[in-house]
Structure 1
């Protein structure tokens, strides 16, 4: 009964939240403006009432530059399902010492309801906010960077895209990049490099640097691209990992290497996809041999694997009849008309006796022998007395 009440309460609470979330709105949800000394501008917003009853809303501003952001009014009354416009005035100073993206919010909030006696009722108030970012340029030369690389199938082209924005106060005359391709673990050596196009950017402008590399020139695997961007005598680096795949599933491990006699065993095959797409219909056969004689075999369940995913596929095998000995397990993985194999040696072992257990057993045996000897001595004495 308690569980039913708890579920009903949870559902009721979720419904209340869902209703509150959509009760009011603000548009647009986000704005971005670039700083200019002594900038004066006015932004238009809309407050939205999504319910079939009137609402009184408070308008507020918060953030690092809220002193320079003023709403045209502090409250609004909205009729059922009404959308009403209000304005926000921005008046920036001649300079601001905090460069970068400054986060501010313009919000609307339901006013607290008052009772007939003029008392304020206690309850939840619904509010929504619109993001207002003000980008303040960095002194001198400054680039914001983002490196994007597509994972590719072997044989496809790799596209390197560097999104750049001049967030400094100075124009940039020459911007280019060299992208070094670093090989996979464990060596992580430089394999090759590609150069991008060259561009120029005025302050606040954004553009892209691009380069292309045939994936067949480096082969499949997991690589790292390190892009060095050169701009007017300065440099900046950004790096990202990328993958070149082929339709292959690697077997990383097959375990266990030891099992206990008389027990059922779970064999675990650890696999990893080296492909950029999902692979379905994967399964494996497991064969147990001893001196090239097949003793046991079974087939796993069918599974799927996502791009570059590692997964453990388990198979339970009844090994209770195997004697204490050395055996060989051979797994054959089947997928997309391909196969991959992995073999291991494993041992079937009997009950292991620990050193502590052996010590206790010896002590108990000595005590028993001592007791038996005492019993024999006492018995002999009794017999001797009887004879006398």
Structure 2
């Protein structure tokens, strides 16, 4: 039996060693092959990466002269081929199809032209694109594993749509509660015609209903021009997620966009912590009053109480059961604490509010336990006594008022009006 066990152990060790060797061989192979490709990773580049032209009727028949640079970061001798592909292939004129770059040259400028004559163009409304490809040819002294490097510079001609046509995006600068949320709306008129009146109508809503409507000033925008609409809104609403519906009204047409945004951050506020009938040495129930300040439900929220004595030793680390908090809901979360072995004295610690969705909020607390009960002070400075003490204080107030009334009645009887 012992021999079988030893044999199995040796076999297991041997398999482990084999796996380790296979891993080492694979790692070495990857590193070996990468040595051939890494030198070529930064072999060539191109700048600029894009050339954009907004087409107008005044450009008909023109030839636009442009250029780009082929970058040589490795400063070595290299040869590249130049070619064109895409919608504008017949309109791009290259003056050479190959290029020699010499050692020490950081870059070489390459001229080209765009022929905008009607015979060469077959433009459609919107974006018309082409790419000039720059492909490096491996030299004779490079190994057979060398990668073929290719980069491209892009040419885009924006051709106007018939009539009036806009392109836009919605940028929202989020804010906290009662702060200004800013809507920035860039608009490009891609149509052949000028737009006399353009404005934004913004409806802000939550899940259930519309909250408010905003409207920008009205502006005009010429064909192929760009303008921007700006609207500000003071977010005097509960913190949470909201949706903006933006109608861009231009002359007799409307383009609608949607975007969600946040006001503030997810937050649960802790108001107080108290208990009733506190008895040191028993299991006591602390009631933690929290409020969900978010405008949506928070799933599986729980509290975690941590206390340290004056020497820094942790004497309590207790968690509650998880509870769902409805939007803007206040709830008392019960926390059960076994105080066996806990002594009278002063303690520091924290109350943490956590959830499965990543919520993490922390408040420092100070606690004092004496013969009369427990007092817990939040970092905000509010001191919360156990509920029994609060009731006794109320009883004393009522008693003082009753005695005052009794004294007034005795004086009235003893010294009646004449």
Aligned to 1:384: none
How far apart in 1 are the matches of 2:351 and 2:98? Answer: 62
What is the alpha-carbon root mean square deviation over aligned residues? 3.9
Unmatched runs of 5 consecutive residues or more in structure 1: 256-265, 275-284, 296-300, 314-332, 339-388
How far apart in 2 are the matches of 1:302 and 1:20? Answer: 57
Aligned to 1:108: 134
Which of 249, 252, 269 aligns to 1:230? It is 249
How far apart in 2 are the matches of 1:248 and 1:227? Answer: 28
How far apart in 2 are the matches of 1:17 and 1:67? Answer: 35
Aligned to 2:108: 84
Which of 174, 192, 206 aligns to 2:226? It is 206
Aligned to 1:10: 30
Aligned to 1:261: none
Aligned residue for 2:184, secondary structure, equals strand
For normalisation by structure 1, the TM-score amounts to 0.64
Give the 3 Å change call, closer, same or farther, for CA 97–132 of structure 1 in structure 2.
closer
C-alpha deviations, 1:250-281, integer Å up to 9, x for none? 552159xxxxxxxxxx9885999x9xxxxxxx
1:53 aligns to 2:76 (yes or no): yes
1:270/1:310 contact within 8 Å kept: no
2:353/2:362 contact within 8 Å kept: no
Aligned to 1:241: 260
How far apart in 1 are the matches of 2:324 and 2:95? Answer: 62
C-alpha deviations, 1:37-89, integer Å up to 9, x for none? 33411111112222243111111122221111121110111111312221111
Aligned residue for 2:24, secondary structure, equals helix
C-alpha deviations, 1:284-325, integer Å up to 9, x for none? x99447xxx779xxxxx99999xx993278xxxxxxxxxxxx
Deviation at 1:219, TM superposition (A): 2.9
How far apart in 1 are the matches of 2:74 and 2:185? Answer: 46
Aligned to 1:371: none
Alignment of 1:219-368 (within 5 A): 219-245=238-264, 248-249=267-268, 250=292, 251-253=298-300, 287-288=335-336, 310-311=357-358, 334-335=362-363
Unmatched runs of 5 consecutive residues or more in structure 2: 1-20, 269-291, 293-297, 303-318, 328-332, 341-349, 365-378, 381-418
Aligned residue for 2:76, secondary structure, equals coil
Aligned to 2:5: none
1:271/1:310 contact within 8 Å kept: no
How far apart in 1 are the matches of 2:135 and 2:231? Answer: 49
1:23 aligns to 2:43 (yes or no): yes
Give the 3 Å change call, closer, same or farther, for CA 27–244 of structure 1 in structure 2.
same
For normalisation by structure 2, the TM-score amounts to 0.59
Deviation at 1:17, TM superposition (A): 4.2
How far apart in 1 are the matches of 2:334 and 2:32? Answer: 52
Aligned residue for 2:171, secondary structure, equals strand
C-alpha deviations, 1:214-273, integer Å up to 9, x for none? 012x33221101111111111111111011015724552159xxxxxxxxxx9885999x
Which of 212, 215, 227 aligns to 1:195? It is 215
Deviation at 1:110, TM superposition (A): 1.1
Which of 151, 166, 175 aligns to 1:128? It is 151
Give the 3 Å change call, closer, same or farther, for CA 246–78 of structure 1 in structure 2.
closer
How far apart in 2 are the matches of 1:4 and 1:286? Answer: 56
Which of 58, 75, 98 aligns to 2:124? It is 98
Give the 3 Å change call, closer, same or farther, for CA 113–167 of structure 1 in structure 2.
same
